[in-house]
Amino acid sequence: MKQKVIIALFFWMFFLLSACTNTPPKELEAVKPEEQVPHVGKEGPIRIGFAMDSFLEERWLRDREMFKESVEALGAEVEIVAAYGNDALQISQAETLIQSGIDLLVIVPHNSEATAAIVHKAHLEGIKVIAYDRLVKNADLDLYVSFDNERVGELQAEAITALVPKGNYVFIGGAITDNNAHLLKKGVFNVLRPYIERGDITIVYDQWTKDWTPVNAKANMEEALRTTNMQIDAVIVANDATAGGVIQALAAVGLAGQVPVTGQDADLAGVQRIVAGTQTMTVYKPLHMLSQEIAKLAVAMAKGEDVITERKVNNGKIEVPSVLLTPTAVDKDNVESTVIADGFHSLEDVYRATSKE
């Protein structure tokens, strides 16, 4: 009898335990299979990292703001850093952006060679890289978007040779570390070469400008004036900021406005010098076009969409898919129909300096 009671108790406890084990929790009972939310991957908007070289020049401040506005208009977010000419810092900043979980990296390289390391690090994390206006050399770069910088140099040389077809020329380039400076110089000498070969033009001074700074460009011009005994007929300068330094050096010896000087970027100060007569021309590159194009392509690539380009640029390692926009020469005659008509600068701002004289 006792054995039968023990057996009965055993089966009764087994039944209770089985019932408890098979009863689903209340929260699972309330959710039917078809109502469960599927995993959708990363939440939130697309995040673009923007690693810039510097904000020291007017044009890069414009790029920063225009690119930010363009990205945000597409519903994405952008995180912006600047290294101010420090290669190690630019690499470190890019690494931080990469590790923060950005979807794509856009970079304005200070040093076109050193930043190849950034492209490699980004690719290890599955992040694509777009070079903004300046090419990254010797890397598996995903996309390069800029203006046609070789054409920029050609426009500068065409404008100056039209004014001074014969004489002593000074060439003051940009930073040797910037691939754009090399492309610009190539464009300049595409035009000058026949003049040089005929003996019509002599290059009496040719120098790069470290970090694109006006103070270094001024020092270069002072050296050119000294070594040539001021026998200079024209100066081709890489951009408007460096042209400012060059014109300061010319002004110190009474030659400002007497010697034609080129520029690039259509900075306000450069355009003001054009209407004042101390700078001959600049090259206008509508930055809103550049920032909008890169923002559109960056967001598309971050979403995994394919981007097809008609042009490619060799960066020493691969033929990089490229988008090259068209620049425009600006002088005293067309300043109002270009930079002012586009709203790049206002009429009042451009003529403010001359109206005070």
Per-residue model confidence as pLDDT tens digits over 11-35: 444 444 444 333 333 332 333 322 3
Compute the distance between CA of residue 157 and CA of residue 189 in angstroms, rounded to an integer. Answer: 8
Token pair in block for residue 283: 């090259």
The pLDDT-based confidence of 58 (bands split at 50, 70, 90) is confident
pLDDT of 37 strictly over 50:
no
Compute the distance between CA of residue 59 and CA of residue 77 in angstroms, rounded to an integer. Answer: 22
pLDDT of 319 strictly over 70:
yes
221 CA to centre of own chain: 27
Compute the distance between CA of residue 196 and CA of residue 126 in angstroms, rounded to an integer. Answer: 49
Token pair in block for residue 17: 């335990």
92 CA to centre of own chain: 18
Q: Residue 105 in contact with residue 91, Cβ under 8 Å?
A: no
Strands 128-132 and 143-147: parallel
Compute the distance between CA of residue 263 and CA of residue 281 in angstroms, rounded to an integer. Answer: 6
Residue with tokens 């042209």: 243
Per-residue model confidence as pLDDT tens digits over 153-177: 999 999 999 999 999 999 999 999 9
Mean predicted lDDT score pLDDT of the chain = 88
pLDDT of 57 strictly over 60:
yes
Q: What is the pLDDT of residue 353?
A: 67
Beta bridge partners of 51: 81, 107
Domains and CATH numbers, the chain: 47-141+287-325 (3.40.50.2300), 149-285+329-355 (3.40.50.2300)
Beta bridge partners of 320: 313
DSSP structural state of residue 339: I
The burial class, CB within 10 Å (0-12 / 13-18 / 19+), for 20 is exposed
Compute the distance between CA of residue 15 and CA of residue 18 in angstroms, rounded to an integer. Answer: 5
Q: What is the pLDDT of residue 28?
A: 27
